[in-house]
Structure 1
């Protein structure tokens, strides 16, 4: 248990039957101290505090959050930061248990802190790091666990963890670029549709009342907008239900139907500009992941089996499985890659050079860096291209409705 003048925080493994208690007490100097302690009952907490020279004043069960578990969900970025922290400390000579204790105590997310404490407790109980991670498959996928297992077996765990940390950081940066490319135009379109719906439901009917007193025929464009407004006012609830239903059905189909997932992944690769970004992203993820696993000492066939799920696209996943099957029967990696007819010639050639030179991981890292830079450049170019297109889109949608409403006024003014 670590102590300071004002706060002492004690942490114990949250095994079955243990409960977390908060306590307040005084040390031998009369300094008020407080902290947390996991134990089976209050008496054991008091006994442990007295053993450490602290006179307990208040000991009570820690209150639970009102709505479920406290803290935000553990995200891939949190795992990337965790990997970098533990790699840095282990390379500095800090034992893994101490490193986990420091990381756990310094983490602000209660869920992350609880997970790290659980891993530390399992290692103290005699488990290997890999076995402890296996208890958290959502946060540490098969690739992560395989790399750690290879590092432990070779006695170079700190080096492998440093490689994993770099890999996770690069992967999250790449994902962020892809999300940026998709999110910005989608949000602008959504805002444009919401503004258009508001205009049709609330603004156009006001103009319609004014037009009734004109006593003249309205322009065709204005009549079209008025009819669309009448439809929206009468059936907005049906359209809203249909939109929600379509969204729920899409998400459900994407999660449950493998065929639908494959269809979406094939279609997105064919979309102009976006498709090329997704191609480059999948190649970058394939190259970096295979390079990391191969460098860690994972056998090539096993590495390819693990890499398949990390490409981020079902088309590339199927291609990697085919490559794995060909490599398993003796084909070189570059020849197997050529057979799937999906990877660019440059990637195949660099892989071939890496195999011949015995530096496959180095070449794969160079390929990954090249295609990651291609993704960065493409996203930046796409953002520059989309900005004027989005302005035109907003002008046509919103401006078109404004013009349609003022056309009758202009027509009336010309008659007068």
Structure 2
């Protein structure tokens, strides 16, 4: 039997980790469910030998949102038209151009033919179908409204794609400018400044401070460039290991939210995603505490996840959602008021959609003005470089001209 490591939630909502023996991944998931553990991640335990490497898992990255949107749209149309589930899955597995999705749908079709239900078959493939996705499908199956769940998921993923596209578009210009600055620094320090340095050294003159700074930087680049590359690689690996720890991950995610200018945009985008997924699950009939749990874990931000799961714990202890939202320190006062109104009127799912739209509008405005806010900083960096370069090169040249005239 194979050994599987797992991470999940107990019936009390606490995070549990451990190992379990089973013949395959599906049986491991079913065994955990029988034990009262909701599995969040189940993976085969690596052997001690480094020879057994799953090459396909290294080459196949987690699926992007676009194939999921297409899959949801197609499945919605097929189920609404009355096409049997097995035939729909088989047809989509043959027509999709995404290799990982096609392989996954083939396995899902095999599981369905062996008697497993749709959501259970999807849960065996966490790289493709998230826990939020599976929970929505499970609710749709149990209520007989699978096509509605698929349509809601398609709309949710489309909104998520649009938000990511806007953020990438807004960050393209700053990244391009910073990359150009970095390349210019490398070329100047390795090629340009050494030429002037050799010329100035022939005259044996006392160099001004800006020139000494430029020559010192250039000498460091020329003589220790390999140490710089090694240090950057070591730093990147060290950061990756630190972020892999529980404390490091939470502090890193908190820092991402505190970065000047950009951090506030990331924070609002994350809260928009949480509000929209939370509303989506409430509309589908997922229990409140489970909706908060799954929506928080779908954020990919450990700091916000812990704060939002704290809301779930407080609600289970008897507190109202309005009070827990206020105590979390995550939402703005206006959003807290909207949550309070939604809780009083029993339309919390509708008000959460309003909250998501509110955050989306703020993110959209911030992204439109992002370039204007970052440009002064970039101009100041470029101006500082040009000033230092001009002073470092022209000041000694002027001194050389004065010496030549005096001679």
User: For the residues of structure 2 that align with 1:399 and 1:193, how far apart are their CA atoms?
Assistant: 16
Q: Please, what is the CA RMSD of the aligned residues? A: 2.5
Among 178, 181, 192, the alignment partner of 1:192 is 181
Among 359, 378, 388, the alignment partner of 2:347 is 359
Among 188, 205, 214, the alignment partner of 1:225 is 214
- Match in the other structure for 1:378: 366
- Match in the other structure for 1:149: 138
Is the 2:210–2:388 contact (alpha carbons within 8 Å) kept by the matching residues of 1? no
Among 258, 267, 275, the alignment partner of 1:279 is 267
- Match in the other structure for 1:56: none
- Match in the other structure for 1:404: 392
Query: What is the 5 A alignment of 1:285-324?
Result: 285-324=273-312
Shift, 1:241, TM fit:
0.6
User: For the residues of structure 2 that align with 1:69 and 1:251, how far apart are their CA atoms?
Assistant: 19
Shift, 1:298, TM fit:
0.5
Deviations 1:87-133 (A, max 9, x none): 23323433333332332222222222222222223223322110110
Change (3 A) 1:209 1:370: same
Shift, 1:189, TM fit:
2.7
Change (3 A) 1:175 1:223: same
Shift, 1:339, TM fit:
2.2
4+ runs of 1 displaced by more than 6 Å? none
Query: What is the 5 A alignment of 1:46-85?
Result: 73=61, 74-85=63-74
Name the TM-score, length of structure 1 as normaliser: 0.77
User: For the residues of structure 1 that align with 2:356 and 2:290, how far apart are their CA atoms?
Assistant: 20
> 2:337 matched to 1:349?
yes
Deviations 1:202-249 (A, max 9, x none): 221122222233353332211221122112211111111111110111
Among 139, 145, 150, the alignment partner of 1:161 is 150
Change (3 A) 1:341 1:91: same
- Match in the other structure for 1:44: none
Is the 1:84–1:161 contact (alpha carbons within 8 Å) kept by the matching residues of 2? yes
- Match in the other structure for 1:133: 122
Shift, 1:70, TM fit:
12
> 2:240 matched to 1:251?
yes
Shift, 1:399, TM fit:
5.8
Shift, 1:296, TM fit:
0.6
- Match in the other structure for 1:239: 228
Change (3 A) 1:231 1:239: same
More helix by share: 2
Give the length in aligned residue pairs.
350
Change (3 A) 1:69 1:252: closer
Shift, 1:398, TM fit:
5.2
- Match in the other structure for 2:46: none
Greater C-alpha Rg: 1
- Match in the other structure for 1:27: none
> 2:76 matched to 1:87?
yes
- Match in the other structure for 1:333: 321
Name the TM-score, length of structure 2 as normaliser: 0.78
